[in-house]
Amino acid sequence: MLDPADFPSAIAFAFEAVGGIGAAAKVCDRSYQALNKWRQSACLPRTDYTGETRYAELLAAAAKEKGNEFKSDWLLSSSAPHKEAA
């Protein structure tokens, strides 16, 4: 089983848990390029935090099938965008 501590971000862990960024793109029905942006920013799109999309849930379900279980709530909280003070 994969260990989240071995990855630079929760997003990178989640992608690897489902079989890589290409597999994660298929799970989320998004392009490889879109998910690469998520990985680089280390956060999910705003729509996942507002409930418009459910990418964290899709990734968690796919990871569980691969034997790399994690909770979607963990992914959301671990990859929340960081607001900088003005």
Planar angle of CA 71, 14, 44, nearest 5 degrees? 90
The per-residue pLDDT for range 22-79, each reduced to its tens digit, is 999 999 999 999 999 999 999 999 999 999 999 999 999 999 999 999 999 999 999 8
Q: pLDDT band at residue 2, thresholds of 50, 70 and 90?
A: confident
What band does 81 get if pLDDT is binned at 50, 70 and 90? confident
Q: Domains for the chain: give ranges and CATH numbers.
A: 4-78 (1.10.260)
For residue 83, name the pLDDT band (cuts at 50, 70, 90).
Answer: low
DSSP string of 19-59?
TSHHHHHHHHT--HHHHHHHHHHTS--HHHHTTS--HHHHH
Tell me which DSSP letter residue 6 carries. G
pLDDT band, very low/low/confident/very high, at 85 (cuts 50, 70, 90): low
